[in-house]
Chain A
Amino acid sequence: MILNEQTVKAIRADIPKYPQRRSCILPALTHAYRQVGHLNEVVYREIADVLDLDTIQIAEAASFYTMFPKQPVGKYFIQVCHNLSCSLLGAESLVEYLLRKLDVKKGAITPDGLFTVVTVECLGSCTTAPMMQINDLFYENLTREKVDAIIDELRKKG
């Protein structure tokens, strides 16, 4: 089993909230993503078992939702918004800066396994642009100094 006991429990806890089992799929994918960091066929099968649904139903839904990476990513998954409001305040240059600082290509994992940088569409944080999301947290009003401090701290944490 990839999914641990806590994740399975969280998936089960959602069942009574909906009249139809299928509604639990997206919440289940979210619980699984939080634990594993990405989704794959094995995860779909395990979710299907817990929810007593067909694996194809899980896979079909999962393939639509871009928030869940389908391949492993770094421990810190950095999603930089490159939509208009953020770009007006330098998001393109922020992406370049991050990639150069971490010496990594967009979407790849740094050799230490810590970081992956991707660009995403508007994250609903336009008035505090430019911004990025690292795992579940938003980092807003970014400046070069702030980015340096954030990356340094995450590196130290390992």
Chain B
Amino acid sequence: MELRVLFKYIDNPDQHKIATYISTGGYKAWEKVLRELKPADVIDIVKRSGLRGRGGAGFPAGVKWSFVPKDSPKPKYLVCNGDESEPGTCKDRVLLERDPHRVVEGMAIAAFAIGAHNAYIYIRGEFAYPAAQMRKAVQEAYDKDFLGKNLFGAGYDLEMAVHTGGGAYICGEETALLESLEGKRGLSRIRPPFPAVEGLYASPTVVNNVETLANVPGIITNGPEWYAKMGTEKSTGTRIFCLSGHVKRPGNYELELGTPLSYLINDLGGGVLGDKKIKAIIPGGSSTPVLTPDKLDVHLDFESVAQAGSMLGSGGVVVMHEDTCMVWAARKLAHFYMHESCGKCTPCRMGTQWMFQILDRIESGKGCENDIELLLDVCDKIEGHTICPLGDAAAMPVRAFTKTFRDEFEYHIKHKKCMTINRMPSFT
């Protein structure tokens, strides 16, 4: 079911203004936290809500916060991940543009929970408008004394700043993001140490996705039980799904977790363009293994999608109809990962180039007989052998496309052309 919790006020054109946000109960959670709660209470509430990270991996937010060492003499940092670059994903942008105070308030509460007096939000460089909206919101929050020194007279200080990137998908990966925030090239770091122990400026740091943090004020205001009642037992709450590709009504839809994929595509999305048949669905951003239409009834929660052989990932659902060539689609994604590999480790740097070259030659009709085996072999050599999960993120979709639609790949190699017409809308 469509259930608007984060999106409750998203259509109000004034929602980005602090007065409007306050009039709908905004910053009450922040006040309550500072006046009534201890950091440990906040962590406990968020743990009990069952809130899991919306950035991709689905790690429980409260548990992550509890990893920050309490006795460390170093300053602590809260970083909000607004890099949003996973192809198919475009939900954080909507929150940043239209309800930025919800993100500011969520960041503030998370910062308090881990004992951080500095919070940064890292927004991808191309998002000039969302970043401007966030800057305005942060300034408004300072003007109202929701940020700054001795907040609500409770003796807590919090500084917040908006940081923008320079166009690099890898900077969404948390350790590369921290390198980038330190002014360096966005190369991922070897773990351990994990950011909770040694993150930004080698200090304890928590990195959370925009949507994850935007959920926090509501959880504090309405209580963890309210949140846990939504969704499924292990995947609580709602999630914003970004529906794109061959559907009649693409868009960002907030659903209760556990809603069937078919409801999203057919009821909300209006079905497939031209009433064609679905051939393939990417359920959680470009990195997640592609599904076939027999999985249309899968429920959109972490466990069910995993059971169906893929991942809920970032919430980006891409629908491809019967006229789509799967070699063409796989090549597009392989090109992306080749372009975005940071180059620090060899399996990812070279592997993503190999994958693209092989797919490129298959697609252009120059494929060799054993190319499919070679492609799968390259996937084997990347997966599990890289510094950060970008390697896995690149190999997983290529492997899934190749295995699931092997007949199309074989046809391409043998007949030197697409098995399907691969006809997309034309501008000419």
* Residues of A participating in the B interface, judged by any CB pair closer than 8 Å: 17-27, 29-30, 57, 60-68, 82-85, 87-90, 92-94, 96-97, 100, 120-129, 133, 136-138, 143-144, 147
The docked-state distance in angstroms from the alpha carbon of A30 to that of B168 is 14
For chain B, the count of residues having a C-beta within 8 Å of the partner chain is: 60
Contact A65/B250 with A124-B84, A124-B124 known, Cβ cut-off 8 Å = no
Provide the residues of chain A in CB contact with B60, threshold 8 Å.
none
Provide the residues of chain B in CB contact with A88, threshold 8 Å.
244-246, 318, 320, 324, 424
Interface stretch among B158-166, B191-199, B212-220, B383-391? B158-166
The docked-state distance in angstroms from the alpha carbon of A87 to that of B324 is 10
Contact A61/B184 with A88-B324, A93-B424 known, Cβ cut-off 8 Å = yes
Q: Kindly provide the distance from the CB of B122 to the nearest chain A CB, expressed in whole angstroms.
A: 9
The docked-state distance in angstroms from the alpha carbon of A85 to that of B251 is 12
Contact yes or no, A30 B181, CB < 8 A: no
Interface residue? B299 (CB, 8 A): no
Interface residue? B354 (CB, 8 A): no
Partner of A126, one of B167, B184, B316: B316
A-side interface mostly: helix
Question: Nearest 6 A-B pairs (CB), nearest first?
Answer: A65-B166, A67-B167, A22-B183, A90-B425, A25-B183, A97-B427
Partner of A30, one of B164, B184, B250, B427: B164
Interface residue? B185 (CB, 8 A): yes
Q: Kindly provide the distance from the CB of A110 to the nearest chain B CB, expressed in whole angstroms.
A: 19
Provide the residues of chain A in CB contact with B92, threshold 8 Å.
124
Interface residue? B426 (CB, 8 A): yes
Provide the residues of chain B in CB contact with A100, threshold 8 Å.
428
Contact yes or no, B169 A121, CB < 8 A: yes
Partner of A133, one of B126, B340, B424: B126
Contact A84/B332 with A90-B427, A124-B90 known, Cβ cut-off 8 Å = yes
The docked-state distance in angstroms from the alpha carbon of A69 to that of B19 is 39
Interface residue? B129 (CB, 8 A): yes
Contact A126/B125 with A24-B183, A65-B167 known, Cβ cut-off 8 Å = no
Provide the residues of chain A in CB contact with B118, threshold 8 Å.
19
The docked-state distance in angstroms from the alpha carbon of A60 to that of B181 is 14
Between A and B, 15 residue pairs with Cβ closer than 8 Å are: A20-B182, A20-B201, A22-B182, A60-B185, A85-B87, A85-B318, A88-B324, A89-B246, A90-B424, A121-B340, A125-B93, A128-B90, A129-B250, A133-B126, A143-B427
The docked-state distance in angstroms from the alpha carbon of A151 to that of B74 is 53
Contact A94/B201 with A29-B166, A121-B87 known, Cβ cut-off 8 Å = no
The docked-state distance in angstroms from the alpha carbon of A23 to that of B424 is 43
Partner of B126, one of A26, A63, A67, A129: A67
Partner of B201, one of A19, A29, A87, A126: A19
- Of B126, B166, B186, B252, most buried by chain A (CB within 10 Å of CB) is B166
Contact yes or no, B250 A90, CB < 8 A: no
- B85-135: which residues lie under 8 A (CB-CB) from chain A? 85-90, 92-93, 118, 124-129
Contact A128/B125 with A22-B182, A84-B286 known, Cβ cut-off 8 Å = no
Contact A89/B125 with A26-B164, A60-B185 known, Cβ cut-off 8 Å = no
Q: Kindly provide the distance from the CB of A80 to the nearest chain B CB, expressed in whole angstroms.
A: 11
Contact A124/B166 with A64-B186, A85-B245 known, Cβ cut-off 8 Å = no
Which residue of chain A lies nearest to B185 when distances are taken between CB atoms in the complex?
A64
The docked-state distance in angstroms from the alpha carbon of A88 to that of B276 is 14
Q: Given A124-B92, A127-B242, 6 more contacts at CB 8 Å?
A: A23-B182, A26-B125, A97-B427, A127-B250, A138-B129, A147-B427
